[in-house]
Amino acid sequence: MKKVTVSSLLKKKQAGEKITSLTAYDASFAKMFDEQGIDALLIGDSLGMVLQGESDTLPVTIDDIAYHTRCVRAGTERAFVLADMPFMSYASAEQTYANAATLMAAGASMVKMEGGRWLCDTISGLQLRGVPVCGHLGLTPQSVHVFGGFKVQGREADKAQQLLEEAKALEAAGIQLLVLECVPSSLAKTISEALTIPVIGIGAGKDTDGQILVMHDMFGISANYMPKFSKNYLADTGDMRKAVQQYISDVQNGVFPSAEHSFE
């Protein structure tokens, strides 16, 4: 199979083909996911919760992400590799450039940042410096204390309109992918149709251009709880490789996420 690139992900959107993605944190799981045909792997700051046992993602450092990015890259031959910019690692432009360079040098093909319009100048600066960017809107876990917990975003009409406008602003600034987390399915559909770039959903319904899950949730081994938007594929298949294959098939065929894994 050919190596997955930003261009091939865009072609999938244009052809109406769903993009499949998972988080990964080490070479062994990255290799297994890669061999099953996953399109993209994200070294998420979710590692703070699923690997380090923290209550949220805020303690994760750029060194943590860089270490796990090197591990994932070592196990990956064809999947597209994204790396999260952790909490307060992009508070200023110069800080952002230095930390993004660290992640790209560790093996990322793109960095992901949480936030709306306030990031536009920084995103443009990263693009000029050769660093591709994935945006992240909706429930942005690094803002959990601002939101007052892990809550669905965009249910009110004004908030939905704000998210749509911010998505358009991020695209204009130069992002090449967008993650939408925990927003109503109808809003996710509207945003996906309004943007030319691929939109990857997690808890955002079936009408985004692709899906991503935290691998520990997909295997039903997360330490705390199973989010509503996830599904334990290991329980259904009894084998990790088959679980990944089933997840990929369900996303590609529009079976996952179903209404029970979505928000209205």
The structural domains of the chain, ordered by start, are 6-261 (3.20.20.60)
Averaged over successive runs of 10 residues, the pLDDT of the chain (264 residues) comes to: 94 98 98 98 96 92 98 98 97 96 98 96 96 94 62 88 97 98 96 98 96 96 80 95 98 95 87
Q: Would the annotation count 171 as a binding residue?
A: no
Q: Would the annotation count 158 as a binding residue?
A: no
Active site residue 166: no
Q: Would the annotation count 46 as a binding residue?
A: yes
43 Cβ neighbours under 8 A, 6+ residues apart: 23, 24, 25, 65, 68, 69, 72, 81, 82, 83, 84, 108
Torsion of CA 120, 125, 127, 132, to 10 degrees: -70
pLDDT (0 to 100) of residue 256: 96
